[in-house]
A and B are shown apart, each in its own frame.
Chain A
Amino acid sequence: MQLPVLTILFPLFGAFVAVAVAWSSMGRSRQSVMPIAVSALGLSAVCAAVLFVQVLSTGPQTYLLGGWAPPWGISLSVDPLSALMLVVVSAGALLNLFAFSFTPSKWPLGKTPAFLGLYLLATAGHLGIVATGDVFNLFVFIEVAALSSYALLSMGGPRATFASLNYLLVGSVGASLYLLGVGYLYITSGSLNMLDIADILTTIPLSTTTLTGFVVLMLGLWVKMAVFPFHAWLPAAYSSASPAVSGLLAPMTTKVMAYVIVRMLTTVFPPDLLAAISGFSSMAVWLACVAIIAGALMALAQQDLRRMLCFILVAEVGYMLGGAFMGNATAMTGTILHILADAAMTLTLFLAVGSIVVRTGGSRIDDMDGMFTTMPVTMLAFTAGALSMIGVPPFCGFFSKWYLLSGALEAGHWVFAGSLILSSLVNVFLFFRVFERAFFRKPATASAPDSNDWYQLAPMCLIALLLPVIGLATGGIIQQIIQPALKGVM
């Protein structure tokens, strides 16, 4: 009954309580903050999981905040798709925190509570973006998520602060464009509730104001999602931040924004709107092609494993964008599958690379020599993530790419299909370059194999094992989650 709001409230309260406890106990029991954060995220993940089961068995839930019915109040609306996204975000944040929780932090004394507070706030912000059914409320959640992300990303390597400032400027532009789009929507519809706007937009004729609102809102989301020409902040910010932070945000932020685009296209805007400006959606697909190829080529040029992953992420964003604007249900199915698959495999890869960074202090590809002997478990998880990223069946990356590819062929968009295959081939080359070094060459320095502790390895292994499971569950996911979301729209 209260589950939708509880999923968001637990991390929020965790953040306040963490700050209050840390400062009221004056450094004596600073260790007490970590259990607060872990349990807050754990409770949130449990709520999300129970909610997911409930929604699957009894149908979508709407939660009226303050008891006010929409459009007067704000509502959270959770359908199978958003419930699954809630599970992904909260469980991902929990696993990542668990994996890096016990590594000695480089922060000065007293900053760990602030870090954990911001970590929880970032998670809560992303959860809220997924759960909300109100376009302005979504903006406020974007603010919470973004502000805490900027602060988190600024801590890390020497270039992190600058990269984060850059991200702050670009991200603020994206959020402002989104807000401007919401303003246009309010002018045309007089409402902020997603379902209410959708109802009103179908009854009134399409106007320039609606179309402008749509275009501006989408541009804002593209900036936030790091679509190709607006992507520069992403590799800079994620590759220089501390591993615990990039492991949280890289799997989460772009995927949640892609989810928002899917939600806007399927729930808020009427289907004839895209047909009215077909030039815009074909531009989006072409942009996606450019993003995929550019991301793949730039990934080839990288000497650092984390930067390479970041550019692969830019290409992945292209996949999701292209599928969303392709205009047929198959491609949209591929996009949604890819949002889920990419969250899981990015988390695996960033956890693995993160633990390499924690262990060796860097992630240059040249330093990967003999990694399979020194860190076998980590490298096995890395391999699972890499195979999924390449698209080897039965890993989940294969199925989402399959649907994207068939969607592109259905729409007759050969270039998109071609770029998809090209970038997969580039991924093969990229990852096998790493495997070759890590498997066949001798390690530069002899050291005991994998002294990593179980709490660092367990989350990584768990999510790596989930990759083929998600892949094999594709049929169920499509039937139970994606088809209801697309019903009546495409």
Chain B
Amino acid sequence: MKKLTLAAVVIAGLLLALTTLDFPRWGDPQTPASMHVSARFIEKSLEEMATPNIVTAVLGDYRAFDTMLETIVVFTAGLACFFILRTRMTREDLEPAAPENDPLDLAGEDLVIKTVARTFIPLIQLFGLYVLAHGHYSPGGGFQGGVIFAAAYILLAVSHDMKTALRHMSERASHLLSAAGVLLFAGIGVICMTNGVNFLDYGGLAGILGMSLATGHSFAILLIESGVALTVTAALIMIFKLLSSHGTVQEGF
């Protein structure tokens, strides 16, 4: 059976490779993929949304609905991990853990690691914010910035312990933040609708705020990217906490 499967995979792969011979030439400006839609993005995006990075313009504005749904996918993933993995849920768990200082708590006691982590965490967080905010000009944006921000938190949990990490962000906070992120993104869309235009048409927001159209688009992209970053950060932290503590979100390792 295994050999049969392997043979099927190899044959299917070869067939797919064979079809690539029929592809248009790579980088050819006359191919349909580079003529039809992308040409307009390249020519118009800067004047329409004051955003030099065309990828951000496409993801955050022309195809913002896809990006919203991808954010919802991340939100769903966090929710799904909670639904499947979370164990031993008691009423006390739902209350925020009171900060406690146990002098005998020696978990993760390593001066060098802790000091290095403590030095680097703020810098990593700063870099995360930079990647988020600089998405208009260079590769970056909400997804990437959010991942970097979550990495800083995970470094804190790894270098110290789960208790310290939970003191900085409780389970409740991560759930609320992940919901807040998608609400911010979709809420912007709804705010646009209140001005009489379609969902996610940032022209509506520009009208409400009294900005010029392109600036409004640019500002709205920043807002929705912040929403994406919130959800990505919170959902990743949620998944990390659930996985590393066997679903208890307590002591962990």
CA distance A108 to B203 in the complex (A): 45
B77 and A147 contacting across the interface, CB-CB below 8 Å: yes
Query: Which of A13, A24, A72, A155 is within 8 Å of B40, CB to CB?
Result: A72
Q: Which residues of A contact B77 (CB under 8 A)?
A: 147
CA distance A143 to B31 in the complex (A): 29
Which residue of A is nearest B73, CB measured? A143
A253 to chain B, nearest CB (A): 16
A66 and B65 contacting across the interface, CB-CB below 8 Å: yes
Q: Which of B190-247 contact A (CB under 8 A)?
A: 190, 193, 197-203
Say which one of A15-23, A329-337, A470-478 lies at the interface with B: A15-23
B81-99 contact mask (Cβ, 8 Å, vs A): 1 or 0: 0111011111101110000
CA distance A74 to B200 in the complex (A): 11
Say which one of B17-25, B124-132, B141-149 lies at the interface with A: B17-25
A137 within 8 A of B: yes
B250 within 8 A of A: no
Q: Which of B164-197 contact A (CB under 8 A)?
A: 172, 175-176, 178-180, 182-183, 186, 189-190, 193, 197
Give how many A residues have a beta carbon under 8 Å from the other chain's beta carbons.
63
Q: Which residues of A contact B31 (CB under 8 A)?
A: 187, 190
A71 within 8 A of B: yes
A403 to chain B, nearest CB (A): 35
B199 and A108 contacting across the interface, CB-CB below 8 Å: no
A486 within 8 A of B: no
B80 and A150 contacting across the interface, CB-CB below 8 Å: yes
Q: Which of A109-168 contact B (CB under 8 A)?
A: 109-111, 114-115, 117-118, 121, 128, 136-137, 140-141, 143-144, 147-148, 150-152, 154-155, 161
B61 to chain A, nearest CB (A): 6
Q: Which residues of A contact B54 (CB under 8 A)?
A: none
A209 and B19 contacting across the interface, CB-CB below 8 Å: yes
User: A22, A64, A73, A136 — which one has the most chain B CB atoms within 10 A of its CB?
Assistant: A73
- Which of the four size classes fits the interface of chain B? 35 or more
**Given A20-B179, A111-B86, also A2-B37 (CB < 8 A):** no
A22 to chain B, nearest CB (A): 8
Q: Which of A21-69 contact B (CB under 8 A)?
A: 22-24, 26-27, 63-68
B64 and A65 contacting across the interface, CB-CB below 8 Å: yes
Query: Which of A16, A115, A141 is within 8 Å of B179, CB to CB?
Result: A16
B84 and A154 contacting across the interface, CB-CB below 8 Å: yes
B33-69 contact mask (Cβ, 8 Å, vs A): 1 or 0: 1111110110000000000000000000111111001
B183 and A16 contacting across the interface, CB-CB below 8 Å: yes
Query: Which of B16, B66, B79, B88 is within 8 Å of A137, CB to CB?
Result: B66
* A-B pairs with beta carbons under 8 Å apart, 18 shown: A9-B199, A16-B75, A16-B183, A19-B175, A65-B198, A66-B201, A67-B201, A68-B61, A108-B88, A114-B82, A115-B83, A141-B69, A143-B73, A150-B80, A187-B33, A208-B21, A208-B22, A212-B16
Residues of B participating in the A interface, judged by any CB pair closer than 8 Å:
16, 19, 21-24, 31-38, 40-41, 61-66, 69-70, 72-73, 75-77, 79-80, 82-84, 86-91, 93-95, 172, 175-176, 178-180, 182-183, 186, 189-190, 193, 197-203
The 7 A-B residue pairs with the shortest CB-CB distance, nearest first, are: A151-B80, A190-B32, A67-B201, A190-B36, A208-B22, A20-B179, A23-B175
- Given A67-B197, A187-B32, 10 more A-B residue pairs with CB atoms under 8 Å apart are A20-B176, A63-B198, A66-B62, A73-B63, A118-B83, A140-B69, A148-B76, A154-B84, A191-B32, A209-B23
Residues of A participating in the B interface, judged by any CB pair closer than 8 Å:
2, 5, 9, 12-13, 16-17, 19-20, 22-24, 26-27, 63-68, 71-74, 108-111, 114-115, 117-118, 121, 128, 136-137, 140-141, 143-144, 147-148, 150-152, 154-155, 161, 184, 186-192, 200, 204, 207-209, 212, 216
